[in-house]
Amino acid sequence: MTTSANAVASSPSQHVGGPLRGIVLKVVSVCFFVVMATLLKATETIPAGELVFFRCFFAILPVVAYLLWKRQLRSALYTKNPLGHVVRAFVGVGSMSLGFFALTRLPLPESTAIGYAAPLLIVVFSALLLKERVHIFRWTAVLVGLFGVIIILWPRLTLFSGGGVVGDGEAIGAAAAFGAAILSAFAMMQVRRLVQTERTEAIVVYFFICASLLSLLTIPFGWVMPTPQQAALLIGAGFAGGIGQLLLTSCYRYADMSVIAPFEYVSLILTIAIGFLVFSDVPTLTMIAGAVIIVGSGIAVILREHYLGLDRLKAREANTP
């Protein structure tokens, strides 16, 4: 749900305020992304491609306003790798489209929890495609986390009730949510390539611009004229997403990712509460159990990365003459 791929591009600089300020910014950004998802889900009948357009196009406005205020708009438009931004946008739009489609078919907490599989899948793809070394601890955490995903998906995809699929719409939504997590992992890997030559502002701005344009290609597949209420929800979702992105980008300037990242899972508590209060979605035991397993595995991977980073830093310091 959050644009985590953009967050990868941020690098902490440990400004005054330290980790506490970074944590606060992260939690507030999570709140804005949950608001965004809630507003998009509340539109009900709007196609996924149209949701992507409004989410990205109106997110540009607060981002550009912030860059103008910081006098960084010119640097945000400078790029050495325009094709890389287009590739990242294609994958990101695919991920968003599937994720937003899942929102229309699944309870908010379930679609959110399945999305937590993305960081775990990055470990898998990094090992298989980038030939990165992944030790037994991280493989174990990933396998346990994916087992949690299966627990959530199982009631949606199992054949019961007279031999038919229970809740065809929910089964398709569950598959779409997992597909969104897969594409999100690929998007994060693409950002890891972009960050080698591109500034954070450029990655954010070009993604929103390219994604807005690419989403227009879905018009032939059936856009609808939103009602005034739906239009207000869509525009509000775009602004909430843009503000959330700014806060997310800023939070990593004050603390390491390993400190900030676990607070992403605050969104699970918020989506369960909003799902119950706004959409009357009662969380199932399988959803809660699977989400707990995924969150635990994700935190284990984050902490492991943190300790490995410390070990590498100590090794470099020891080898420095």
List, for residues 286-298, the tens digit of each pLDDT value: 899 999 999 999 8
pLDDT > 90? residue 217: yes
Residues 141, 145, 147, 152, Cα dihedral to 10°: 170
Residue bearing the bigger pLDDT, 154 or 231 = 231
pLDDT digits (tens, 9 = 90+) for 241-292: 999 988 888 887 787 766 787 888 889 899 999 999 999 888 889 899 999 9
Q: What is the pLDDT of residue 53?
A: 96
Residues 147-176: pLDDT tens digits?
999 998 888 765 444 444 445 678 888 899
Query: What's the pTM value of the predicted model, to 2 decimals?
Result: 0.83
User: Does the pLDDT of residue 207 top 60, yes or no?
Assistant: yes
Q: 43 vs 256, which has greater pLDDT?
A: 43
**DSSP states of 134-194:** --HHHHHHHHHHHHHHHHHHHHHHSEETTTEES-HHHHHHHHHHHHHHHHHHHHHHHHHHH
Structure tokens at 177: 């949510």
Query: Which residue is listed with tokens 């997992």?
Result: 178
